[in-house]
Amino acid sequence: MKETLERPVLVTRSSLPPLEEYIEMLKPIWDSAWLTNMGAYHEEFREQLKKYLKLTNLELFVNGHMALELAIQAMELKGEVITTPFTFASTTHAIVRNGLTPVLCDINEEDYTLNADLIESLITERTCAIVPVHVYGNLCDVEKIQEIADRHHLKVIYDAAHAFGEELDGKGVGTWGDASMFSFHATKVFHSIEGGAVAFKEASLEKRLYQLKNFGIMDSETVEYVGANGKMNEFQAAMGLCNLRHVDEEIRKRKQLAMHYRHRLEGIKGIKLCRENPRVKYNYAYMPVVFDGYKAKRDEIFQALKEKNIHARKYFYPCVNEYECYRERFPAEDTPVAARISRQVLTLPLYADLPMDAADMICDIIERKGH
C-alpha cells in the first residue's frame, strides 16, 4: 500500500447491495406508483425486521431522530429525563424538543455507556424517564437500569442507534425497556438510506406511534391527533429489504477487521480498547480507541492519519454539555468521565470493504506516533 492513499479512507462507508438487486426491487414501485404512505414494501420490511430483531412490536419511521422524538412524545412524559452527555446530538435534542429537561448522568470507564450506579442519585420527584444510549455497540447495563426504573416507576427508552441486530443472552436488544429506537442511516451497519424504527413493549403504543408519524390521520375523514410526518417511503423500505439479505455477511467482515485491529493494538501501553461482554452478540459497528497516557495525544493521531488521507472520527466530541446550545445549562465538569473520554477517543475506519492492509497502515501510523 502506498505511503499516502490516493482515495480517502473514511471512518465508514455505506454498504450497498448489488445494483441489479435494488433495481429489480424498484420495478413494482414503478408499476404501482405507490411511493409512500405505508405501501407493500413498508409492510414487508417491518415484518422482516421483527423476525430479524426478535421483536413483537415495531413501527418504521423516516429516520432515527424522528423515531426517537416521537417515541418520547407518544409516552406523554413531563418533567426530567436522565440521560447521557456521551452521545450524538439527536438524543438530547429529542428530549428537549418534547419540552422535557435532560439530567445528564456520567458514563462508566469500561464501555462508555450510562453509569447505572449514578442514576438513583439523580432521581427527583420530577423524574419521569431514563433515556440510556447503547454506545459503539456496547450495551448498557439493561438489567440494573430496569430494576431502578421499576422501583421508581420510570419509563425507559433506549437510543439503540448503534445496536442493530445485537442480542444479550440470545434476547434481541430491542426487547429491553419500554421502547428502543434504531437508526437505519446510511452510515450504520445496516441502513435503508435514511430510516429508523421504534421497538416497543406495550401493544397499545402502536396506534399512538402511527398517529404521530402520519399527521394524526387515521382514515380519509378522521384526524385524531396532532401528529408529524415521520413516514418511511417505499424506496427506503426497498433498500432496507435488500440490505437485510446481506447484513450478516456485512457484520462478519466487520468482525474480521475489528479482531485484526485488536490483535495489532491490544496490550500497547496508553491504548485502551473496550472489553467485550461474552453475553453479547455484537454488530461491530465502530472501532473506538482511547488514548489514555499514550505518547501521542488523540488529536496528534487524528492529524497523522488525516495527512495520509485517512479520516478517523472524534466520536463523541465534544460532549453534549459542551455544545453551544447547552453549554450554559449543563456544566461539563458535572460529568468528568464523559468529558475526559470525549477528548481521548478516536473511532478508526471500519466497514466491510475496508482492505486489511489499510487497517494495518492505520495501526502502523498509530504505533509510529507512539515511539
Model pLDDT, residue 6: 77
- Is residue 169 classed as helix, strand or coil in its secondary structure? coil
Among candidates 269, 304, 310, which has minimal Cα distance to 290? 269
Kindly list the averaged pLDDT for each block of 10 residues, start to end, along the chain of length 371: 75 97 98 97 98 98 98 98 98 98 97 98 98 98 98 98 98 98 97 98 96 94 94 98 98 98 97 96 98 97 97 97 94 96 98 96 95 81
Question: Which run of H or E residues covers position 112?
Answer: none
What is the CATH architecture of 19-241?
3-Layer(aba) Sandwich (3.40)
Among candidates 60, 31, 23, 43, which has minimal Cα distance to 231? 60
Sheet holding 58-61, edge to edge: 58-61, 196-200, 179-183, 155-159, 127-131, 80-83, 101-104
Q: What is the DSSP string of 149-160?
A: HHHHT-EEEEE-
Model pLDDT, residue 1: 47
In degrees rounded to 5, what are phi and psi of residue 322?
A: -110, 5
Among candidates 136, 137, 173, which has minimal Cα distance to 156? 173
Model pLDDT, residue 342: 98
Q: Rounded to whole angstroms, how far apart are CA atoms 156 and 174?
A: 12
Query: Is the whole-model pTM more than 0.95?
Result: yes
Q: Rounded to whole angstroms, how far apart are CA atoms 349 and 287?
A: 7
Domain boundaries, the chain: 19-241, 246-369
Model pLDDT, residue 87: 98
Model pLDDT, residue 371: 81
The topology (CATH level 3) of 246-369 is: Aspartate Aminotransferase, domain 1 (3.90.1150)
The sign of the torsion formed by the CA atoms of 275, 277, 278, 282 equals: negative
CA dihedral 70, 77, 317, 287 (to 10 degrees): -60
Helix axes 356-369, 234-265, angle to 10 degrees: 50
By residue count, the chain amounts to 371
Q: Rounded to whole angstroms, how far apart are CA atoms 111 and 139?
A: 8
* b/e code 27-61 from CB counts within 10 Å (16+ = b): eebeeeebebebbebbeebbeebbeebebebbbbb
DSSP at 228: -
In degrees rounded to 5, what are phi and psi of residue 196?
A: -165, 175
What nine digits make up the cell of 227?
401528529
Question: Which run of H or E residues covers position 291?
Answer: strand 287-291
Question: Cis omega before residue 132 (within 30°)?
Answer: no
Q: How far apart are the first and last CA of the chain?
A: 22
Among candidates 75, 91, 72, 184, which has minimal Cα distance to 135? 91
